[in-house]
Amino acid sequence: MTFSVRRPTFIYSIVLAIGMAVVIGSALGFQYIGGYIPCELCLMQRQPYYYGIPLVIIGAITSAL
């Protein structure tokens, strides 16, 4: 089995993971650095990102194999 990072699915997965991390990083930055207090809905809307980022990284690793 060979390891190939040139597959389009690997690149798309990495771009998606980076994009999701930027979204969550921005929200956490507003919360902790900016001092904004998020509402309950804002906290609930972050959960898919928390679950999705590790799944996308696992998908990128498996697509590269």
Chain segment 4-56, per-residue pLDDT in tens: 667 788 889 999 999 999 999 999 999 999 999 999 999 999 999 999 999 99
pTM, two decimals, is 0.81
Nearest to 48 by CA among 26, 25, 20, 22: 20
Packing angle, helices 8-32 and 40-64, rounded to 10: 150
- Domains identified in the chain, total number: 1
Per-residue pLDDT for 63 more than 90?
A: no
> In degrees rounded to 5, what are phi and psi of residue 30?
-60, -35
The pair of structure tokens assigned to 42 is 């804002």
Q: Is residue 2 part of a domain?
A: no
Q: Is residue 3 part of a domain?
A: no
CB–CB of 60/14 below 8 Å?
Answer: yes
Structural domain of 30: 8-64
Per-residue pLDDT for 2 more than 80?
A: no
Placement of tokens 């898919």 in the chain:
48
